[in-house]
Structure formats: structure tokens, C-alpha cells
Amino acid sequence: MAGKHTLDLSDASFDAEVLRSDKPVLVDFWAEWCMPCRMLAPTIDEIADEYNGRVKVGKLDTDSNRQVSVKYGISAIPTIILFKNGQVARKFVGLTKKADFQAAINDALGAGAAAH
């Protein structure tokens, strides 16, 4: 389901890939049965491609990975959380425009790192 630059995250890989990352990480909390999640998937993959090398982008299936989902209080999906330095920097719930993700990512990267 994930694109070429989109990571498949799990409870087991979350700490290493997200919390200990030296780059901002955008995590899409989703489930196979969630239609809005499916609608958002191409946008998440586009962001992963555009920011490849500067930001990690991953997807975490909430049905298969309950630990992380409960830890971050995921009660509605899609929920997308931008992590920076292991902390929640921004949280989006529901279908969100690509420009909103880009603005949050650019902010996390600092003013000089706007998308090309």
C-alpha cells in the first residue's frame, strides 16, 4: 500500500524510525477498511517523494499496531502526526489538504527549506 519512499511502520519499528529520527517524520495512522485513508494515500506518497531525503514519511496500520495507536490516542482515522525530535509537532485528523501538510513540514524543517 505504501509508495516508493513511504515507510511501512509498526509497533516494533516506531521508536527507531520515528522517535529517534534525526529528521522530521510524518506518520499516517490508517486502516485498510477506512475509505478516507485510502483517499489520502496518494497525497501521503506524493509528500514522501517530494521530501525524500529531508523528511521521513510512513504509514502505520492502526489495526495491526495497537500499541503506538493507543499511546498517541488515535481515536479517528486518518490521523496524521508530524514528529520532530521525537515529539508531536503537529496533528491532523481527517482528510487534510496537501498544502497543510507541506506548510507544517516546511515549518518543521525551518524557513530556508521550502519545497521545490
Q: Per-10-residue mean pLDDT for the chain, 116 residues long?
A: 86 98 98 97 97 97 97 96 97 96 96 46
Rounded Cα–Cα distance for residues 3 and 112 (Å): 27
**pTM confidence score:** 0.92
pLDDT at 115: 44
Q: CATH for 6-109? A: 3.40.30.10
Provide the residue ranges of all domains of the chain, joining segments of one domain with +.
6-109
Catalytic residue among 18, 26, 34, 41: 34
pLDDT at 2: 64
Rounded Cα–Cα distance for residues 19 and 67 (Å): 14
pLDDT at 40: 97
- Based on the residue annotation, tell me whether 34 is a catalytic residue of this protein: yes
Catalytic residue among 18, 37, 55, 60: 37
Rounded Cα–Cα distance for residues 25 and 16 (Å): 11
Rounded Cα–Cα distance for residues 30 and 77 (Å): 6
Nearest alpha-carbon partner for 68 in 48, 53, 52, 88 = 88
pLDDT at 111: 55
pLDDT at 19: 98
- Based on the residue annotation, tell me whether 4 is a catalytic residue of this protein: no
